Amino acid sequence: MRPERRAVARVLDRYRAWERLTLDHPANGTVRRRFEATAYTLCVLMARRTSREAAHAAEYYLGVTRRRGRAIAPPEPDRPEPVPPGRPLRPVAPRDAVPVG
């Protein structure tokens, strides 16, 4: 069963916002707790163990193909990501590939 795309997008946006606030205010306990709660929600939604894996999986699931100038590969090679019906798989470069150009 796949999560609803709008829910994933909403939680991912909230996660990124709290992530920025946490980096800007690392000593603020309230900000950190909110970030951790949002990270937990994203992990549960994407069925991942860490928030970094969950954010990566959410970006891949939503079809975000570029981040910081490089292609996003599937998060785990042994755990295939769900593919929306009717959309072909796109080839992606391996994680250790050297960018050209």
> Are the beta carbons of 60 and 81 closer than 8 angstroms?
yes
Residue 66: what pLDDT?
A: 47
| pLDDT beyond 90 at 14 | yes
Number of structural domains found in the chain: 1
Domain residue limits at 97: 1-101
Write down the pTM of the prediction: 0.63
Is the Cα dihedral 33, 37, 42, 44 positive or negative? positive
Tens digits of per-residue pLDDT, 46-69? 999 999 999 999 999 998 754 554
Return the bridge partners of 70, or none.
67
Q: Residue 95: which of 43, 63, 53 has the closest Cα?
A: 53
Q: What is the pLDDT of residues 61-99, one digit of tens each?
A: 998 754 554 555 555 555 555 544 444 445 555 555 555
